[in-house]
Each structure stands twice: as C-alpha cells, then as structure tokens.
Structure 1
Amino acid sequence: MNLLYANDRPGEYPASWYAATATPLAAFPPLQGEAAADVCVVGGGYTGLSAALHLAQRGFSVVLLEAHRMGFGASGRNGGQVGSGQRLEQDDLEQIAGREDARRLWDLGEEAKALVRALIADHAMPVTFHPGIAHACWHEREVAHAEANAEKLARDYGYTGIEVLDRKAIRALIGSEAYKGGDLDRGAGHLHPLNFALGLAAACAGAGVRLHERSAVTRIEDGPQPVVHTDQGHVRARHVILACNGYLGGLEPQVAAKVMPINNFIVATEPLGERAKEILSQPIAVADTKFVVNYWRLSEDNRLLFGGGESYGYRFPDIIKTVSKPMLQVYPQLKGTKITHAWGGTLAITLNRLPCFTRPRPNVLSASGYSGHGLAMATMAGKVMAEAVAGQAERFDLMASLPQPRFPGGAALRWPLLVLAMTWYSMRDRLGR
C-alpha cells in the first residue's frame, strides 16, 4: 500500500482545522524534465524544508521534491507540540549513549526548540509560539517518576523550567478528574504546525530553493552524482537528502527496515467560548502517560484540538468515533459538543524511539523516525544534515551512532507484530496497570 495516496487525494491537504486556518501559500510547479543541483531534497516537511533552507543559506543550489504539497504529511497535521530534549528521557539516554553524549543530545534538543522560535522570528512567520506543555499522569507512580525526572534535569542539566503538579494542581490546570498529577514544562510549547511548515517553505523560496510539488520520487539512481527520478523528470545532484519519514515507502529499504509508519488522529470541536477555561485554565498543551498517548490543546479560537485513539491498519477509521472515546474519558463534560474537523496522518516510529539518522548509500543522507517528538527535532535534523553536506558532520555522526535496531519480522511481519504489542500495552492502559 502506498501511504502517499492511501488516505488522501493527490495534491490536496486533509480537511483539518490547520488547513482551514492556514495562511495561504501559492502552489509550486511539478518538476518537468531535467534539473541539476548541488543537493536534491526529497520531502517537503520540517526535515526537508529545514535542510533546504540551511543549505541555501550556505550557498548550495537546492532542488526540493514533494509528492503532494509543502507540509502535506505529519508536519502539517500533528499536535503542534514543541517538546524538550529527545523522545527518551535522559536516564535512558545516559544508559544508551553515556553521560557525555547524553548531555550533547540534551543540548541538541534544547537548540532545536530555540531554532523553531528563531525561524519564526527571523522569517516573520504567521505563527505564535505558546509556552508550556503539561504531562498528565494516570498513576501515582508516574507522578513520583515525574518529580524525580524534574529533579534530575535541574541537578544534572541545569534545566529548571519544569514544575511538578500534584492532583489538585493538575485538576486546576486541565479541568479533568482523570489524572493523579504530573508536571508543567514552561520551556516547551505549541504552535500551528502547518503554518510553521508553510513559513519554512516561503523562507526556502526566498532563499532560492527550487521547490516542486506534485513530484513524487519513484527511484534514486546511484552514482558519484545520484539521479533522483519522478514520473515527469529527474534531478542530478552531488548529494541527496531523504526527508520522507512515514511516507518513505519502498524508496530506501535500509531505512524502511528501521522506521515504521503509523497513523494518528485529531479532532477539533466547535469553539467552546467561556467553557474553554474549564478545559485548560492556561494556554498550554497537554500530553498524558498512556501508551496510546492522548494529547490536546486549545486553538486560538478556543476549539479543543484533541489527538488520540487506537486504529490498527493503514486505512483511516471513523476518526470522530475513534478520537471521541478517549476525549470523553478525559472530558466527559464535552458530551454532545459538535466536532467540526477530523483528520488523520502518518508519522514514523523506531523500535527504540530514537530518530534514525543514516547514510544508506554514497552521497545520500536520511533522517526520520521521530516517534511523536518531531516538530523541533525534525527541524533540527534538517539543519544537522545541511551541516553534514557542508563537511561538518560531527552532530550528524552523533545521531547516527545511536543504536537503531531493525523491526523484527522484516517488511512482511513488522506491522502485525507492532499491532500485537500495541494491543497488549493498550490493554494495560485500560486495566490501569
């Protein structure tokens, strides 16, 4: 199944609240005939657009190919959360990479957040960064863990932006009786994800990047100067950057063996008006501790944007039904509230939840598999790959040195095995274990 087309119409954004409220950006023409560049970037999401922009700013000629529209994939559909650090906590990273490299990974994550904010400011994007992400804990043991993690970050990493919340405080903040406590990270934040992607695309165009939409890549021809083919043309380049994430398909089997696409879903309610203050007393975003994570925030017009729900299969389910169930578990007071938008999208995970940076072929770089922590890190990944193309590969090599196991079962069995694992962990969620 080609996920580029399984759930979406060619060249059209999904019917999301983001697409309905995005600042318009004129379409870019498909690639026609032959082109040449220093670098060909495949994928018009955060990773690819950031790579293209940073390369162009370094003086490289760049062609970027996007199968649909800029920001079409997970970059334009996600929960908009700009989280701290990496997807894994620092305790885990210290065990995997050692204290020194764990520190470098933390610093890279902090720089990623700063990069997002700097890009918004430097390019006058129509994007507002709202500070604050709360993590809501279902169990008392998770509250204790959150407190220990906040203490560790303050003690060992000098990060003092996290406030630990008891049951009373989390209820006052998020208006739900479901949680035992949690924390609030003031250094993280949230934004309109599609407008950020479109802002990056506009910045790329202004920097001289040749952007092509409706230009799905069909194959890459190896050589000293790889050739990237589409149905209507090809690009000859000295370097190729793969920035496809969950939409990679069979383009690069070495990456596909380590990075798995999965779907996720979000709904938007009608504007809540004064009721919005009962849902979130502050303009923050929230994610909880369930294995199948619930995450939410209020839009600028006081809609609840709520993501979550389980679906096993690559075809999108009844999204309203799928997401309304966990939403009403968290906020039963919203029963009967109208859902105005419902959409899904494909992200990518890795087996150990660390992003996959690799050189799958000569003169080809790839970064993907952000495992739900991609807004800041994907943007940073683009900058890091631009550095590597320019001969400064230390940070790319740090990320590429992290262990990245293949999914068991190969292409045929990896999805059924993941379904079994997700079923088990979601059952534990329901049983409260």
Structure 2
Amino acid sequence: MTDPLANSYYAATAYPWRPRAFDGDYRCDVAVIGGGFTGLSAALACAERGFSVMLVEAETIGFGASGRNGGQLIPGLRWSASEMEAEFGRERADALFDLCWRDNRVQARIAKHGIDCDLKAGHLEAAWTPKDFAAMHREAEFLDSRFGYPTRIIERADMDAHIASPLYHGGVYDAHAGHFHPLNYAIGLARAAEAAGVVILEGRRADLILDGNPGELFIGDATIAARYIINAADSWIGDVDPDLGRYTVPIMNYNIATAPLVSADALLPSDAAVADSRFVLNYFRLSADRRLIFGGGERYSQTPPRDIAAFVRPFMAEVFPQIADTPIDYGWGGAVAVTMNRLPHIGRRGNVFFAHGFSGHGALVTTLSGELVADALAGTAERFDVFAALPSSPFPGGKWLRRPLATLGLLWYALKDRIG
C-alpha cells in the first residue's frame, strides 16, 4: 500500500536530513523510542542534562503524526480551562494552565536552535453554531478574568477580517497561538539533538522492553542497554507495550494542500490558522508559499481512501465554495492516537517513562511533555507529576473489541454534528 505521507506537502518541502552514521556500543543512560516531537524533545532535554542518549525510530524522523499534522499550534489541552477547574479544582487548574497555556516550549526551542519552520502567529477558533459561539464567549471571558489570558472575541459581522466564509457564527482569536511547518520543526529538533550528542537510529523498530537496571530495549538484531527507557511511540506504543496500547485508539485524519493561490490573502486575511467547533472539525491555514492546507473528515478504518484529495475536497468546498475547483497538489494522512477522555496519558513504570495519547491537540504539548519526562528522569518530577496525575483509563473491549466500540462512540458524536 502506498504510504499517504508520500504525497505530503511537508515531505515535499522538508529540509534534507539524514542521521549521522553510528558504529559503537549500544549502551546509554537513556533510550528513547519514537522520532516525533515527544521523543525528540525528551532526547534533546536529556542530552542537555548530561545523559548519554540513543533514539530509535522505526521509519524516519517525523514519520508519524508529528510530520503529518495540520501544523496548528493551539495552547492548552482538549479540555477547556473552565472544564479543568471544574473537574480538578483551582490549584491543579493553575498548574495545568501554567504548563499548557503559558509555557510555550515550541517557540522557545525554535528560538534557541534557530529552527526555520515557517512559524506564524495567530489562531482562530470558529463557531459552527450560535450555541458554540456563546460557549466560546464564556470561555474567553473566563480565561481573561481567571487567568489574565487575553483573547479577542470576534462577532459574526467581523469574521470576514479573518475568513472569507459565510458558515461561521463568530469566533475567538488567540494571538499567542500560531502555525508552522511541523516536519521541518521535527527535523530541526533532530539536528539540535544530534548537536547535543544524541545518537539517532532511523529504520530500527523497537520490539520489546525488558525493565531492569539497566533495562533492555530490543531493536531487531540488536539490544540497547539503558538505565532509563522513554516510550514515545504514540500511535504505535502498543507494538512495544501492549498494555499501554489499551489506552488509545488510532483515528485517521487527512489533509490536502492546494496549488499556490492568487486569492490567498482574501481567503484568510489575518493569516491565522483556523479550526472550527464541530466534533469532526475542519482545520486550515495558509502555507508560507500561499497554499491552503486543509484538514477535514475522519475515518475510523486504518485503510486510507484511494484518493485523499477527492475525500477532503468536499469539506474544503463547503467552507470555501469560491475555490471548490482549485487544483490540489498534495493529499496525505496519518493516525492520531486518541484517549478515552481526550487527555494525554503520561507516566512512569519503574525505569520506563511514557507519554502518548495527545488526541489531536499535541503540536505544542508534545514538546513540553518530552521535556517534563526529562525533568522527572533527572530527579525533578514536580511538573511531570501534574501531567502524570491526569485521569486515564483503557478503552473497554479488549484487543479485538476496543477499536469497534470506540468507533461506535465516535460515530455518535460525529452524527450529532450533522443533526445539530
């Protein structure tokens, strides 16, 4: 089967990357599984603390969701700040807010390492219904009054300053959010990690972890002996640890990139990234070379559509009928690991740390999570514990029924989108 990433705009415009050759002893302080944002940031942060680090990636750097996503940098988690306070109380909400809204580790890494990844400011959450807009309005006021976090409420009459579409009933603009080229960011992290001393092994699939002191990570015909192991394989975490795999199900998302648009500035005048409020949301933005990158629709089968562009085009045409027939140059997709409650699942079991299940809201929080794992590994676990204490539970149904039961639930919420 052809890999959907093969026709990715990101892959076509990525900077050259190949890890340095390695011919040495497979022994280190820290072995990291997964070459996405979480694994790369964890490896980099561990190396900066003086640990010897090896990172293994079954494919290539950024092959998973980190190199395939919509490129939207949205502060927070899938739960709103008011939901977190209602569920966890004021003190825990403060700690989560400081981590997930105020501490932008992506911007910090981009600045520190000079990563060229088309970083732009601004994100608009667009209301699909008047009820959604009322809820956004309340949340924006809560963010301002409770946390002093400023956003801008956009009334329906003023939406044309951001988006040339009649579909939406208003929105909320966040100047602290933004968008970027995710694969070039991943490659930038990989280059920074190598410069800090991390050994990166691409094309090496992790098969099994034996927890001990040291632990052992089996990678085909070789074994890495490590004091600590970090499992950041996300959608593939169950291939290495079947028990952790029970906590997520993979949802397939698809993106397209149009040909460069003469009308790009008219389409999205503020050049902000946009995501709407539907359960099966549309999300879109302009690339640095003035293409519309648009994600729409979900599939609960692992088999991609034969024609990704044809699958996504109707969603784009609904939002932007004025470009319904514009040429589409790229169409690609990938899996998003979703937890039961849409909160990430992060923790430690002996000498093995793990972080996964970012549920489609991970472009910012994955970098942070990797750094929090490095903190805990180095002996400072206070901020790590904030995330590790988030509630989590495995999907019901066991190995064979877990995905079908989750699919039924997701289809129900998708149906609610259609019937209002």
Contact 2:72 2:273 survives alignment (8 Å): yes
1:284 is matched with 272
User: Which amino acid in the other structure matches residue 84 of structure 1?
Assistant: P
Aligned residue for 2:278, secondary structure, equals: coil
2:31 is matched with 40
TM-score, with structure 2 as normaliser: 0.96
Is 1:418 aligned with 2:403?
no
Count of residue pairs brought into register by the alignment: 419
Given the superposition, is the C-alpha separation of residues 257 and 112 from structure 1 closer, same or farther in structure 2, using an over 3 Å criterion?
farther
Contact 1:171 1:179 survives alignment (8 Å): no
Structure 1 gaps, min length 5: 1-5
Paired with 2:277 and 2:270, the residues of 1 have a C-alpha distance of 20
Aligned residue for 2:149, secondary structure, equals: coil
Aligned residue for 2:75, secondary structure, equals: coil
Contact 1:163 1:184 survives alignment (8 Å): yes
Paired with 1:343 and 1:23, the residues of 2 have a C-alpha distance of 18
Task: Quote the offset at 1:28 in angstroms.
Answer: 4.6
Task: Quote the offset at 1:171 in angstroms.
Answer: 3.1
Between 1:283-292 and 1:77-86, the stretch displaced more is: 77-86
1:187 is matched with 176
2:238 is matched with 249
Is 1:344 aligned with 2:336?
no
Aligned residue for 2:159, secondary structure, equals: helix
Is 1:8 aligned with 2:8?
no
User: Which amino acid in the other structure matches residue 339 of structure 2?
Assistant: T
Paired with 1:112 and 1:76, the residues of 2 have a C-alpha distance of 22
Spell out, residue by residue over 1:140-198, the C-alpha distance to the aligned partner (whole angstroms, 9 max, x if none): 111111111111000000101x1111112123311001111111111111111001000
Contact 2:164 2:267 survives alignment (8 Å): yes
Spell out, residue by residue over 1:287-345, the C-alpha distance to the aligned partner (whole angstroms, 9 max, x if none): 00111111000011111000011312011113112211211111111121111000001
Structure 1's consecutive aligned runs of 4 or more residues displaced over 6 angstroms after TM superposition are none
Task: Quote the offset at 1:366 in angstroms.
Answer: 0.2
1:55 is matched with 46
Given the superposition, is the C-alpha separation of residues 32 and 250 from structure 1 closer, same or farther in structure 2, using an over 3 Å criterion?
farther
2:143 is matched with 153
Contact 1:269 1:339 survives alignment (8 Å): yes
1:331 is matched with 320
- Where do residues 229-240 of structure 1 align in structure 2 (5 Å cutoff)? 229-240=218-229
User: Which amino acid in the other structure matches residue 278 of structure 2?
Assistant: K
Q: CA RMSD in A?
A: 1.6
Contact 1:310 1:322 survives alignment (8 Å): no
Task: Quote the offset at 1:77 in angstroms.
Answer: 0.8
- The one of 75, 82, 88 aligned to 1:91: 82
- The one of 361, 372, 383 aligned to 2:360: 372
Contact 2:249 2:406 survives alignment (8 Å): no
Paired with 1:125 and 1:89, the residues of 2 have a C-alpha distance of 30
Paired with 1:288 and 1:116, the residues of 2 have a C-alpha distance of 23
Is 1:18 aligned with 2:2?
no
Paired with 2:221 and 2:157, the residues of 1 have a C-alpha distance of 60
- Where do residues 70-89 of structure 1 align in structure 2 (5 Å cutoff)? 70-89=61-80
Paired with 1:310 and 1:356, the residues of 2 have a C-alpha distance of 22
2:300 is matched with 312
Contact 2:162 2:271 survives alignment (8 Å): no
Paired with 1:19 and 1:250, the residues of 2 have a C-alpha distance of 25
- Where do residues 107-126 of structure 1 align in structure 2 (5 Å cutoff)? 107-113=98-104, 115-126=105-116
1:167 is matched with 156
- The one of 284, 298, 303 aligned to 2:291: 303
Paired with 1:42 and 1:310, the residues of 2 have a C-alpha distance of 27
Is 1:200 aligned with 2:150?
no
1:134 is matched with 124
Paired with 2:308 and 2:418, the residues of 1 have a C-alpha distance of 20
Is 1:358 aligned with 2:347?
yes
1:3 is matched with none
Contact 1:43 1:67 survives alignment (8 Å): yes
Aligned residue for 1:156, secondary structure, equals: helix
Spell out, residue by residue over 1:84-126, the C-alpha distance to the aligned partner (whole angstroms, 9 max, x if none): 122210121112221111111011013442x111111111111
Paired with 2:227 and 2:9, the residues of 1 have a C-alpha distance of 39
